[in-house]
């Protein structure tokens, strides 16, 4: 599945590390918000719970 486009929902499990998830989050957040729901607690850090 290609990452990086709004559309199909992507979970934290799709990313290799927190930085990759953060990159996607930061890329889309200004326009679309947290489209993949990577930041459940709203602190603007994507998947930090998942990657510990």
- Identify the burial level of 7 via C-beta atoms within 10 angstroms of its C-beta, where 0-12 means exposed, 13-18 middle and 19 or more buried: exposed
Q: Distance between CA 12 and CA 24 in Å, rounded?
A: 11
**Taking CB under 5 A as the rule, does residue 24 contact Ca ion?**
no
**Taking CB under 5 A as the rule, does residue 45 contact Ca ion?**
yes
Nearer to Ca ion, 2 or 30 (CB): 30
Nearer to Ca ion, 2 or 24 (CB): 24
Stretch that binds Ca ion, among 2-10, 16-24, 32-40 (CB under 5 A): 32-40
């Amino acid at each position: 599945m290609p990452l990086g486009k709004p559309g199909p929902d992507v979970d934290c499990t799709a990313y290799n590390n927190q930085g990759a998830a953060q990159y996607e989050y930061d890329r889309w957040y200004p326009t679309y918000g947290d489209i993949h729901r990577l930041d459940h607690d709203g602190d603007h850090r994507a998947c930090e719970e998942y990657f510990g």
